[in-house]
Chain A
Amino acid sequence: NAGVTQTPKFQVLKTGQSMTLQCAQDMNHEYMSWYRQDPGMGLRLIHYSVGAGITDQGEVPNGYNVSRSTTEDFPLRLLSAAPSQTSVYFCASSPTGFRQPQHFGDGTRLSIL
């Protein structure tokens, strides 16, 4: 099993550009989530999904969209990139959301100029 795979690993964007961060898992996990990690601020939840076709907002959803058309894939879309969105983004999955550890991808380091 590959686990949780994120692409790309690095990306530089200009302010106002849009892009999609890809996340795929091959563990048949129902629960998937996106976090951003900024220095000294831990991991903050952007959006999450409890199964195909179901998504909801986390702590910091503004400027991001998600969809979950399959169990395996959970892409994160930046609608109009802003410098404040410069961060490291982690995708994670778990069998369910309840009392289960999360499995993280390797992260995407995103810089917005």
Chain B
Amino acid sequence: GENVEQHPSTLSVQEGDSAVIKCTYSDSASNYFPWYKQELGKRPQLIIDIRSNVGEKKDQRIAVTLNKTAKHFSLHITETQPEDSAVYFCAASKNTNAGKSTFGDGTTLTVKP
């Protein structure tokens, strides 16, 4: 089955710096890659997603890039703010296998004021 590895497991940055989280996946048939943000004690919530026919997608300070050849995708957060502090999860799924998602283990991002 699909295997998703996420790095780093923890990341600490100064406010205003950029943060990058990377995920690699094993199944070349995977074609949908969402990122979720989970604040402490809260539910995971989608922040951005990308489909395999697109190489990059941006939404204000957040961007995701996808390299299908290398089978990895990355989350980029620019001009980080303390409210960006949370756990971020990547996931991968494909059109077969009922579209089940496989999640990475998460990255704890801390933005220091």
Contact = CB atoms under 8 A, between A and B. Distances in A.
Interface of A: 31, 33, 35, 40-45, 48, 50, 56, 58-59, 90, 96-102, 104-107
Nearest to A105: B43
A36 B45 CA distance: 16
Interface in B9-34: 9, 31-32, 34
B43 A106 contact: yes
B105 A40 contact: yes
Contact of B106 (A42, A58, A106): A42
A102 B93 CA distance: 12
Main secondary structure of the interface of A (DSSP, over half): loop
A56 B99 CA distance: 12
Contacts of B43: 90, 104-107
Interface of B: 1, 6, 9, 31-32, 34, 36, 42-46, 49, 51, 89, 93, 95, 98-106
A96 B46 contact: no
Contacts, number: 61
Contacts of B46: 101-102
A46 B21 CA distance: 26
Given A42-B89, A42-B105, A98 B95 contact: yes
Contacts of B36: 104
Nearest to B46: A101
12 contacts: A31-B99, A33-B100, A33-B101, A42-B105, A43-B44, A50-B98, A98-B32, A99-B93, A100-B99, A101-B34, A102-B101, A104-B36
Nearest to A97: B99
Contact of A56 (B1, B89, B98): B98
